[in-house]
């Protein structure tokens, strides 16, 4: 960022893609506070109709948005197209979730008349988005918040402002008033200003654990402000007895290296039964070596594009070397494939003999392997983390999975499936440093509106039965 201008560059080329002025947080909050009540007062059916128009506009212009995502976030075009599809699908899913989880209820209360449960919007919600899914993940907060009747101040990642601008423009074109959803361009300073602003009623965050902890600490003395933290993970994928080694290897590759490892649900640790290690590596390493890393818009399409920037690539490279120095055994080197650009080939390293392994989220295409004697030890090792987002078991039978499911500490637990690729029709969130027990996706409706319980009678009726003087 230079002075009051923010500049975005393409990871794959280093060329400038977008520039624009940093937003005025106070002005945006003031505008939103004036606008949200009128939006909330509109019938729910009207708000839903506007958002269905938004979905149709994104579908119509999907290729343009997908190319922008690919260029600014560095992900292959095929993956960017899948992200656009998720943006479109989010509207119908959110409508269904709102009806199911925050719908109106009314029931007879006998002589006390009737009782009702309805939901109200919080008011002005700040949505702080990440760079890895710059459209889909913030959209997962924005759409439920708008359906519920909130106004939204959306601060995209400072690394993907162009996608954020395009997303907000689509909402405006669909008919969401410009004051009801506003784009707030900026970096950490603007994010902090939104979090702490007294005119913001809720903070919906997706990003790193460090930033989420800072938000939680900042608002610890303000229980009236709703806070939903969707953070990362040091996610385990566990492999025990299975004859399907090629399939297991494919699931590991999908878990660890999709999006160049830049998914909060990506597998960071492969915990493998020692008797399976050699045979599994004989499948996994050659398969990983075949993965194409290249231009997100290139043909044929690569499996992976670059990581988000050179600083990230440098940090990951240094972490890989640090693990080697600490006693890690390299199974597949992670390398910079293009000078001065953040392209990394996927790396695999056996860290079984590394003492005091750091419990951190290495956000990139790096997989640490840990050998264990049995499933129980694997479960203990998988839980050896402060995070708790996603975990997957590959192999074993129903009893093994039952033991795994019962004992793993995570918000997403899979069997013979990747750690990533969670369904938007289910809740999405974790425990520990992965979240604050406010899961997103289908359960986002829960934090976008609050329940109001009412007792209602057509006429006033009251008596005092006890404690009265004659």
Per-residue pLDDT of the chain (470 residues; tens, 9 = 90+): 445 999 999 999 999 999 999 999 999 999 999 999 999 999 999 999 999 999 999 999 999 999 999 999 999 999 999 999 999 999 999 999 999 999 888 888 776 778 899 999 999 999 999 999 999 999 999 999 999 999 999 999 999 999 999 999 999 999 999 999 999 999 999 999 999 999 999 999 999 999 999 999 999 999 999 999 999 999 999 999 999 999 999 999 999 999 999 999 999 999 999 999 999 999 999 999 999 999 999 999 999 999 999 999 999 999 999 999 999 999 999 999 999 999 999 999 999 999 999 999 999 999 999 999 999 999 999 999 999 999 999 999 999 999 999 999 999 999 999 999 888 899 999 999 999 999 999 999 999 999 999 988 888 888 888 999 88
Which architecture does CATH list for 235-415? 3-Layer(aba) Sandwich (3.40)
Looking at residue 1, its pLDDT comes to 41
Looking at residue 2, its pLDDT comes to 41
Contact 130, 152 (CB under 8 A): no
Looking at residue 107, its pLDDT comes to 84
Two tokens at 301? 């399409």
Q: Which residues are catalytic?
A: 230, 264
Residues in the chain: 470
Please state the domain extents for the chain.
5-231+435-455, 235-415
Alpha carbon distance 230, 338 (integer Å)? 32
Contact 330, 284 (CB under 8 A): no
Q: What is the CATH number of domain 5-231+435-455?
A: 3.40.605.10
Please tell me if the domain spanning 5-231+435-455 has the same topology as the one spanning 235-415.
no
3-state SS track over the chain = CECCEEEEECCCCCCEEEEEECCCHHHHHHHHHHHHHHHHHCCHHHHHHHHHHHHHHHHHCHHHHHHHHHHHHCCCHHHHHHHHHHHHHHHHHHHHHHHHHHCCEEEECHHHCEEEEEEEECCEEEEECCCCCCCHHHHHHHHHHHHHCCEEEEECCCCCHHHHHHHHHHHHHHCCCCCCEEECCCCHHHHHHHHHCCCCCEEEEECCHHHHHHHHHHCCCCCCCEEEEECCCCEEEEECCCCCHHHHHHHHHHHHHHHHHCCCCCEEEEEEEHHHHHHHHHHHHHHHHCCCECCCCCCCCCCECCCCCHHHHHHHHHHHHHHHHCCCEEEECCCECCCCCCCECCEEEECCCCCCCCCCCCCCCEEEEEEECCHHHHHHHHCCCCCCCEEEEECCCHHHHHHHHHHCCCCEEEECCCCCCCCCCCEECCCHHHECCCCEECCHHHHHEEEEEEEECCCCCCCCCCCCCC
């Amino acid at each position: 960022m230079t002075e009051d201008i923010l500049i975005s560059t393409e990871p794959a080329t280093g060329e400038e893609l977008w520039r624009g002025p940093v937003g005025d947080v106070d002005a945006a909050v003031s505008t939103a506070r004036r606008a949200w009540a009128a939006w909330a007062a509109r019938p729910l059916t009207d708000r839903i109709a506007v958002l269905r128009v938004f979905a149709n506009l994104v579908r119509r212009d999907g290729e343009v948005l997908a190319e922008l995502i690919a260029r600014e976030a560095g992900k292959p075009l095929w993956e960017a197209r899948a992200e656009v599809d998720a943006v479109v699908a989010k509207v119908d899913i959110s409508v269904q979730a709102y009806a199911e989880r925050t719908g109106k209820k009314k029931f007879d209360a006998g002589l006390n008349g009737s009782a009702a449960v309805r939901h109200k919007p919080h008011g002005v919600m700040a949505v702080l988005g990440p760079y890895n899914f710059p459209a889909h993940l913030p959209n997962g907060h924005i759409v439920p918040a708008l359906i519920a009747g909130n106004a939204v101040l959306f601060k995209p990642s400072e690394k993907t402002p162009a996608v954020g601008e395009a997303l907000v423009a689509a909402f405006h074109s669909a008919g969401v008033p410009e004051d009801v959803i506003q784009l707030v361009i900026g970096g950490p300073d603007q994010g902090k200003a939104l979090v702490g602003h007294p005119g913001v009623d809720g903070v919906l965050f997706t990003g790193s654990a460090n930033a989420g902890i800072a938000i939680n600490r900042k608002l610890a003395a303000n229980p009236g402000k709703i806070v939903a933290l969707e953070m990362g993970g040091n996610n385990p994928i566990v492999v025990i007895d299975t004859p399907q080694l090629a399939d297991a290897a494919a699931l590991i590759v999908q878990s660890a290296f999709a999006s160049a490892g830049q998914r909060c649900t990506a597998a960071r640790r492969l915990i493998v039964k020692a008797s399976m290690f050699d045979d599994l590596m004989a499948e996994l390493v050659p398969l990983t070596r075949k993965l194409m890393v290249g231009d997100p818009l290139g043909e044929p399409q690569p499996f992976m594009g670059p990581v988000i920037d050179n600083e990230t690539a440098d940090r990951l490279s240094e972490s890989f070397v640090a693990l080697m120095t600490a006693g890690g055994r390299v199974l597949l080197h992670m390398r910079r494939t293009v000078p001065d650009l953040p392209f990394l080939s996927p790396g695999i390293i056996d860290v079984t003999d590394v003492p005091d392994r750091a419990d951190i989220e290495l956000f990139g295409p790096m997989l640490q392997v840990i050998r264990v004697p049995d499933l129980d030890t694997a479960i203990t090792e998988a839980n050896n983390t402060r995070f708790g987002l996603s975990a997957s078991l590959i192999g074993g039978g129903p009893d093994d999975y039952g033991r795994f499911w019962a004992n793993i500490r995570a918000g997403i637990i899979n069997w013979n499936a990747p750690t990533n690729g969670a369904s938007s029709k289910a809740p999405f969130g974790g425990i520990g440093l992965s979240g604050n027990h406010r899961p997103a996706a289908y359960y986002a409706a829960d934090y976008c509106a609050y329940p109001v319980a009412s007792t209602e009678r057509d006429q006033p009726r009251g008596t005092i039965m006890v404690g009265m003087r004659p």
